[in-house]
Each structure stands twice: as C-alpha cells, then as structure tokens.
Chain A
Amino acid sequence: MILKLAWRNIWRNKRRSLLTAGSVLFALFFALIMRSMQLGVYDNMVQNVVNISTGYIQVHGKDFWDEKTLEYSMEQTDSLEHTLLATEGVADVVPRLESFSLASTGRATKAAMILGIDAEKESRYFDFDEGLTKGQIFPDGNGILLSEGLAEYFKLDIHDTLVLIGQGYHGISANGKYHVSGILKLRSPELNKQLAFLPLREAQFLFGAQHRVTSLVVVPEDHDEFAGLTQEIRSELDTTTYEVMNWREMMPELVQAIQADSAGGLIMLFVLYLVISFGIFGTILMMTSERQYEYGILISIGMKRGKLALTVLLETFFLSVLGVIGACLLALPPVFYYHAHPINLAGEQMGNAYEEYGFEPVIPASNDPSIILTHSVIVVIITLVLALYAVWKIYRLQPVKAMHS
C-alpha cells in the first residue's frame, strides 16, 4: 500500500508532477544525445587508430616505438607467438612489418609508409577488407594495395605499376616493382594519404628482413580488458628484449585530446544537471511545505517517520523514473539511427578540422548501453538526494505544530 500511496500521491497535482517529470525527461534526453555523440566520436577515433595503426596491444623489439626503424625489428619466432597465444585473454597474434620507402611512378615520387601484413588475419580482426574500393586483396599472394589518397596522388589504378625505393634491414638497398592489385579507403585521413600494403613475406623480402617483424599486434578476447592484458603479457616476456605497449601508451596525444574534450562535455552536463536540480528541488520544496499538515496527521495516527520518509522518497523516485523512461524512449531512436548512419561532415568546416587532426570526418552516436544506464542512474540519484530535504523535514516535524500550520 506504501507503493500505491506513493504512486497515487504523485498524481494529486498532475500538472506539477508532469512538469517535474518533463524537466527530468528533457535534461536526460539532451544529456544522452550529447554524450552518445561525444563518446561515439571518441570510439570512432580510437577505432581508426586501433584498426590500422596500433591495434589494442603491440609487442615490439626493445626501443622500436621510439626509433621506428627496421634495426629495432624483432625475429618472428614460433616460441614468441606461442608464449603470447598461451597467455590467458589473448585471442590471436597478427604480425606486421612497417617501414618507409620512396614510392615512384614515371611522373611522381612520394614518401610512403609500407606495411607488410597478413591480410587474412587483418581482415578477420580489423575489418581490413571493408575499405576495398577497387580490385582485390593480393590475388595469388602478390601485388600492392594502395590507400585511396596515395593512388589519387600518383593517379594510379589497378594493374598499374609502382616502384618502391628505400633502405632495408642493416642498410641494404630495398627496391621493388609492384602491380597495384587494389585500392583501399582508410578511415584515418592521415593514413589514407600515405599507406601502402604488401603481403608480409613480400615486405620481408623487399626490406631484406626475412623472418622479422616490427610488431606483433595482440588481439584480446575482450577489448575492454586491454590494460590488464598488457601487464599480463609484460610479465610473460623478457622486457630487456621486447616492449609491450597498448594503444593508450602508443597514442598519448589522442588520449589527452579525448580527455580534454570529454571534460568540456562533462562540464556542460554538470551545468545541465544543476539547472534541472533547481527545478526538481523547487517541486520538493513546494510538496514538503504543502503537506506539513498531512505529515503531522500521518505521524499522529501511527505512521513511523521512516515509513513516511520512504513514501516521499518513492514519490520522488517514481517522478524521476517517469522522466528517465520518457527520455530513453525519446533518445534511443536517434541514437541508434546515428550509430548506423553517422553524420557525415566531409566538405564542412568542422569536417576539415577533423581531417586536419587525422580523423574520419563523421559523427557517429555511441549505442553503448552504459551511457543510458550511467546517466539515468545519475538523474535518479540527483532527485533522491534532493528528496533528502523532505526526509530531513519529516524527521524534524513536530505533529502538533504541523497540524496547526
């Protein structure tokens, strides 16, 4: 009956209850949309970096990350792979050989980043093949894949030829001629201008680095557990020979940029919640003041203060939950829509700014359920904390005075 009493009490002043629930609804709706967009952009940035650039965790030869030269590459041994695969939480290991070279056609020359990859594994774990716009990925294990920007720069199409001229392992000359087998659109604009892919064995041959790799990308079974897994792998390997880094350690600038931007968003949310808190508190003040007499009667006839306080807390809880349900119903359709169809900023001023920083110019919404859960819980907690004022009044209430008020 306490539940029934609380539920019916909120409809005693319908207009006020609807206004209060409405204010919770709009605050939470805007919070959910804002935060989903913000976190969606961050997720996308991270995915851009993780998929083609760093992966979640990499194992390198000692000091490779600082020097980035083939001299710091490491031998691709079965024992190393076995050690990594035997570590709990590791799903697979993807080898890469990375170096720079001059790419040239008869008309132009440009520095290019050459990545030797295991295309099958890259496609399986990092959706590598998703961006293929023309041609095929290494038919018969041969050819070179160009990023779209690089192909445009050289005005190359599939079956055209590209020459690579560079330096290999131990300073040997690394020259080769390759047929373009396919063209890929990479999500990171920066990489899309300079990256070319070779089959791993072809790259090892080109750079004279047989059985060597610059990194082993570790695929975690659970992506969210990458930090703990990094530590686990560190404890398994000889850290005087190898370095183990996760994407946050490899891309600290990105982490800082996200943290700074996120802090701005959180300040906005704080202001939004503060404004709405005043509205809700106003309702609680009015409700408490209007019902002093009634509270006095209820205590007089034998209702304990704790039970009365619980009733009032339930009323506030119901009001906030009504607002939360409404906000979720309103926010979910746009969130799911913009998750599936991100806002494309290409060609816009803001999009250009994204590209300048090397990010895909899109704003997707994150459909992570924890956003809805976290903000709904925050709103409910705010209203319950505000309702403590009513609880405080109930515990201080003197029935005789209240009944004369």
Chain B
Amino acid sequence: MAVIETHNLERTYQDGNQVIRAVDGIDLQIQEGEFTAIVGPSGSGKTTLLNLIGGLDKPTSGEVIIAGTPIHELSDNAMIDFRLKHIGFVFQAYNLIPVLTAAENVEFIMLLQKKSKEERRQRSHQLLEAVGLGDRLTKRPGELSGGQQQRVAVARALASRPSFVLADEPTANLDSHSTANLLDIMARLNEEEHMTFVFATHDQRVIDRAKRVVTVEDGKIKSDESLDR
C-alpha cells in the first residue's frame, strides 16, 4: 500500500524575472515499510520535495497524497494536525527544544496529541531506551552529544506513531560512529516495526544502507532503484 504518492508535482519559485523549477513534474510512490533515500546534488530539489511531502510547503501544481489524503487541500490548522498524526520529522540540526529534557522533548509531541501523562511517560522512556538513551532521560539537549541529540530527534519523530518519518540530511552533522549508530537504529525500526523512512541526503553512508534510492536532478527524477539489501 502506498503511504506517499505524488502526481505531476511542481514547485516553482520566482527569482527576479527567472522562474526556478525546484520540483518539476515528479511522480513518486513510496510503499509502507520502505527505507528510501532521495539523493542528488545540492540544489537538485530533494529538500523541496521532502518539504512538499511533509506538507511544509504547498505545490505550485500537482498533488501529494498521504495515506489516502490529498494534503494540499488541507487548511493550515488541519495540515498541522495531519503532520502531527502522520509524519515524523528528523532535521539536520536536531532541533530539539533546548529547555526541555530528552524525555520531555519526546513527550512534547504526545502532549500536542493530548495523550495521558502516564502514556507519554511510558512511551518516551520506551523510545529513548530503543535509541540507546535510557540513561539520558533527564539530560537537556545541551548536555548531549550531536549523535545523542539526533537519536532523541528520532525518538521524538516516532513518538506520535506516524505513518512515516521524513529525515532531511539527518547525518550531516554527525561523525562516522554516530552516523552508523543512528542508521543501525533506523534500520532496526524499519525491520522490526515496519516503519517507513524517507531520507533526503547526499551522504553515501546513508545511501549505502537504503533499500531504494531515488535520484533527483534539476527537479526531476533521474533514476529510481530498488536494492535488495
């Protein structure tokens, strides 16, 4: 079952007199449980594509259908609710809330979903255990390494039990050891919990672990390979 579908997706920007086609007629389907890397050089349009899939940006034309819902038709508030329910985000710069502890950062998403205190506590502890941070629950982001912060970000992305996780250059600021550790965790979650991951990256270490690699250039899909890993 396709959890993500895009049909003739376009996103253009006006730069003076010039029209920039950041995403130019992309048709893409991502099935539940896939571990997909969207790759391409800087400026190829992969982050714009990820933003459109995540509902952070509106397409100029075409449509994005997430779990059967055409999200470009949603209002701003409905879109925020939709993201909260269906999409987990992992950003390049971790983007944790600096004044909350690791556990509170994970719980925060569930608080927005109005989950009970007990459920929030249990799931945040369970997720942080799963990403190997069971002993860092009460640490604030400033007290964690980059790799640890990104693992908290992964736990936060999974907290709302999303349909899939979008990760934009999640390893860009990590060393090799932290990258390997993070990818192991994501791969395990993909294998064991059938969680769908979509990465926008040009990190070869991520590409090497992906089961499907979609290459984007000049806003178009240049190649789409499924790999047997």
Contact = CB atoms under 8 A, between A and B. Distances in A.
Interface in A366-404: 399-400, 403
B34 interface: no
B156 A301 contact: yes
Interface in A277-318: 294, 297-305, 307
B80 A304 contact: yes
B28 interface: no
Given A1-B104, A400-B56, A400-B57, A301 B109 contact: yes
Contact of B99 (A5, A301, A303): A5
A155 interface: no
A9 B80 contact: no
A300 B56 contact: yes
B95 interface: yes
Contact of B83 (A4, A12, A300): A300
A302 B99 contact: no
Contacts of B57: 400
Contacts of B97: 5, 294, 298
A305 B76 contact: yes
A8 interface: yes
Nearest to B112: A302
Nearest to A402: B56
Contacts of A2: 111
Interface string B76-102: 110011011100010100010111100
Interface in B58-78: 76-77
A319 to B, nearest CB: 15
A299 B81 CA distance: 10
A288 B150 CA distance: 25
B108 interface: yes
A297 B51 contact: no
Contacts of A4: 100, 104
B33 interface: no
Contacts of A400: 51, 56-57
A302 B80 contact: yes
Contacts of A8: 99-100
A394 to B, nearest CB: 12
A5 B96 CA distance: 12
Contacts of A303: 80, 112
A1 B107 contact: yes
B40 to A, nearest CB: 18
A297 B112 contact: no
Contacts of A299: 80
Query: Interface residue tally of chain B, by bracket?
Result: 20 to 34
Contacts of B99: 5, 8-9, 11-12
A170 B147 CA distance: 105
B56 A302 contact: no
Nearest to B48: A400
B95 A297 contact: yes
Contacts of B170: none
B162 to A, nearest CB: 10
Contacts of A302: 80-81, 83-85, 109, 112-113, 160
A4 B81 CA distance: 22
Most B CB contacts (10 A, CB to CB) among A5, A9, A300 go to: A300
Contact of A12 (B51, B54, B98, B108): B98
Interface in A303-345: 303-305, 307
Nearest to B83: A302
A33 B112 CA distance: 44
A304 B56 contact: no
Contacts of A301: 83-84, 89, 109, 156
B56 A399 contact: yes
Contacts of B85: 302
Contacts of A1: 100, 104, 107-108, 111
Contacts of B156: 301
A4 B91 CA distance: 24
B53 to A, nearest CB: 12
Nearest to A12: B99
B137 to A, nearest CB: 15
Nearest to B96: A297
Contacts of B160: 302
A307 B113 CA distance: 12
Nearest to A297: B95
B189 to A, nearest CB: 18
Contact of B100 (A5, A294, A403): A5
A297 B91 contact: yes
A304 B89 contact: no
A8 B89 CA distance: 24
Contacts of A399: 56
Given A294-B95, A304-B112, 10 more contacts: A1-B100, A11-B99, A12-B99, A297-B91, A302-B84, A302-B85, A302-B160, A304-B80, A304-B81, A400-B56
- 9 cross-chain pairs, A with B, having the tightest CB-CB distances, nearest first: A302-B84, A8-B99, A297-B95, A400-B57, A399-B56, A1-B111, A400-B56, A302-B83, A302-B112
7 contacts: A1-B104, A1-B108, A11-B99, A12-B99, A300-B89, A302-B85, A304-B112
Interface of B: 51, 54, 56-57, 76-77, 80-81, 83-85, 89, 91, 95, 97-100, 104, 107-109, 111-113, 156, 160
